[in-house]
């Protein structure tokens, strides 16, 4: 069944958890779709896990469109959400609507995600007014890494917790269909989830959100750089890949691969004439 923004809302209302993962390419999106994931995010985390940058700030609209196209071709049932990269929406309402439009028209996403609270509510409203569903993202917003002074848990003090709760209400009012809560205390995420009507999608926000999202390289243990506390490794795909690659190298060196089952034949009479 095709997942839409309506099915996300329905799942919150029916207390049925929403599952999301990131993906950046056709083959991975296809596997996730087959597994039955509700939504796929083409995250700007692609800057880190696919392109090897230290943060998400260098990711461009062209990068996002390129990867969104690939995912959209691979996933038929999952809701496709594309991240708006740094400086594609902060600069003006015009830029926000224009760039959200590109992710839909060229990338074939079905919704966009952007980071921030009150300061981006005019952008959220304008994009929604253009009939493009918006997923909001509050708490730890990685595009603000320089303002935060690093990647840290947000909302531990009364003042910051109150601000994040307010932001959740503001993005809902601006028209967001869902909101990502990243790296906030579980009790705060629980309170936000009870206080708003749209679904909350948690990452490092505890079990009481309406849904969960993880970066797939993190949850499949194929990104060696670091492991955040909130990540659970559900499989060790990196080690499995290394094993397969080592076997390929060894069999090639030992002349075991390719064997007879992998080769094409030519008639003996034909090849004889060439000698």
**Cα–Cα distance for residue pair 81/35, rounded to 1 Å:** 18
Instruction: Find the binding residues for ligand KIV in span 91-150 (CB under 6 A).
Output: none
Does the protein bind ligand KIV through residue 200 (CB under 6 A)?
A: no
Does the protein bind ligand KIV through residue 204 (CB under 6 A)?
A: no
- Give the tokens for residue 8: 């996300």
Q: Which stretch binds Na ion (CB under 5 A): 36-44, 86-94, 95-103, 263-271?
A: 36-44
Residue with Cβ nearer Na ion (165 or 180): 180
Does the protein bind ligand KIV through residue 83 (CB under 6 A)?
A: yes
Query: Is 27 annotated as belonging to a binding site?
Result: no
Decide: 93 and 126 in contact? Cβ < 8 Å.
yes
Does the protein bind Na ion through residue 182 (CB under 5 A)?
A: no
Does the protein bind Na ion through residue 83 (CB under 5 A)?
A: yes
Query: Is 44 annotated as belonging to a binding site?
Result: yes
Residue of 192, 203, 219, 222 interacting with ligand KIV (CB under 6 A): 203
Does the protein bind Na ion through residue 210 (CB under 5 A)?
A: no
Residue of 44, 63, 167, 218 interacting with Na ion (CB under 5 A): 44
**Residue 48 CB-half CA count within 13 A:** 19
Residue 233: Cβ within 10 Å count: 14
Question: Is position 159 annotated as part of the catalytic site?
Answer: no
Based on C-alpha coordinates, what's the Rg of the chain? 22
Does the protein bind ligand KIV through residue 202 (CB under 6 A)?
A: no
- Size of residue set near ligand KIV by CB under 6 A: 11
Considering only CA atoms, which of 202, 158, 166, 163 is closest in space to residue 184?
202
- CB 171 → Na ion: shortest distance, Å? 15
Does the protein bind Na ion through residue 43 (CB under 5 A)?
A: yes
Residue with Cβ nearer ligand KIV (146 or 260): 146
Residue 226: Cβ within 10 Å count: 9
Active-site hit among 166, 167, 182, 269: 182
- Catalog residues that contact Na ion under the rule CB under 5 A: 43-44, 83
* Binding region for Mg(2+): 44, 83, 115
Binding residues for 3-methyl-2-oxobutanoate: 44-45, 83, 113
């Amino acid at each position: 069944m095709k997942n839409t923004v309506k099915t996300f809302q329905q799942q919150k209302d029916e207390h049925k958890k929403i599952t999301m993962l990131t993906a950046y390419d056709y083959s991975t999106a296809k596997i996730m779709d087959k597994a039955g994931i509700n939504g796929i995010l083409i995250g700007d985390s692609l800057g880190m896990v696919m392109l090897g940058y230290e943060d998400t700030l260098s990711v461009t609209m062209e990068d996002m469109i390129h990867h969104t196209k690939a995912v959209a071709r691979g996933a038929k049932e999952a809701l496709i959400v594309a991240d708006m990269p740094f400086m594609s929406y902060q600069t003006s309402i015009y830029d926000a609507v224009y760039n959200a439009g590109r992710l839909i028209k060229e990338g074939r996403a079905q919704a966009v995600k952007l980071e921030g609270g009150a300061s981006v509510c005019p952008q959220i409203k304008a994009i929604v007014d253009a009939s493009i569903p918006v997923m909001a993202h509050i708490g730890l917003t990685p595009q603000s890494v320089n303002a935060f002074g690093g990647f840290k848990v947000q909302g531990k003090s009364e003042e910051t917790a109150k601000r994040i709760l307010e932001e959740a209400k503001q993005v809902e009012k601006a028209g967001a269909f869902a909101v990502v809560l990243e790296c906030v205390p579980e009790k705060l995420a629980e309170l936000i989830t009870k206080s708003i009507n749209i679904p909350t999608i948690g990452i490092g926000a505890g079990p009481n959100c309406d849904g969960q999202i993880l970066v797939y390289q993190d949850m499949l243990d194929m990104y060696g750089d670091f492991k955040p506390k909130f990540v659970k490794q559900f499989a060790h795909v990196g080690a499995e890949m290394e094993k397969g690659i080592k076997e390929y190298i060894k069999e090639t060196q030992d002349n075991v691969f390719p064997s007879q089952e992998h080769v094409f034949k030519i008639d003996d009479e034909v090849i004889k004439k060439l000698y």
